[in-house]
Amino acid sequence: MGIRTRFAMKTEYGVRAMFELAAHHGGDAIQSAEIARRERIPGPFLDQVLLILRRAGLIRSVRGPHGGHLLTRSPSEIRLDEVIATLEGPGTETDCASHEDASPYGCILHGVTKQADAAARRVYAAHTLADLLRDQPTGAPVFHGIFKPVPSRPRRAARG
């Protein structure tokens, strides 16, 4: 599995959808149109992502007028690496020495990349959806007055 720090849009949208579902865990099912609106994700693309998450058993769908999507487990039981691996798919692991045109420098880079992927996996595995929701900044900054603060101006030196 080649987990990277930059992800495909499918993965980013899927993680954002999972956060939305985690934030509403324990409540009613959330319709995909509502997730798409809140997260500014194109509806048809979100439907494809939700299908992948459902097939992996991370979410379930509820039919009917109050239907939508729900997490299958508590947000504290769903690790970020699990969500990312589901959406990114299996990585293509190659052996550097098996390439005919492999250079020693390419093999060195390949080895470092494997180490970076393993470190990223450990970091993602150490965080659940619940952990990340707790760390989320809350809302917009609060404005406590009706006037803008006047910027301080540097004082001019006295002329003498």
Q: Looking at the domain assignment, is residue 116 inside a domain?
A: yes
Q: Which domain holds residue 80?
A: 9-134
Q: Looking at the domain assignment, is residue 117 inside a domain?
A: yes
Q: What is the pLDDT of residue 110?
A: 78
**How many separate domains does the chain show?**
1
Q: Looking at the domain assignment, is residue 102 inside a domain?
A: yes
Residue 135 carries which DSSP code? T
First to last CA, the chain: 73
45-79 pLDDT per residue, tens: 999 999 999 999 999 999 988 889 999 999 999 99
Retrieve residue 81's tokens: 């690496």
Q: Looking at the domain assignment, is residue 61 inside a domain?
A: yes
Q: Looking at the domain assignment, is residue 51 inside a domain?
A: yes
131-153 pLDDT per residue, tens: 988 876 655 444 444 444 445 55
5-43 pLDDT per residue, tens: 578 899 999 999 999 999 999 999 999 999 999 999 999
Q: Looking at the domain assignment, is residue 29 inside a domain?
A: yes
Q: Looking at the domain assignment, is residue 147 inside a domain?
A: no
Report CA-CA distances (Å) from 96 to 90, 99, 111, 138.
18, 6, 8, 46
103-122 pLDDT per residue, tens: 777 778 878 888 888 898 89
CATH number for the domain harbouring residue 44 = 1.10.10.10
Residue 155 has pLDDT above 60, yes or no: no
Which residue would you say has higher pLDDT here, 130 or 112? Answer: 130
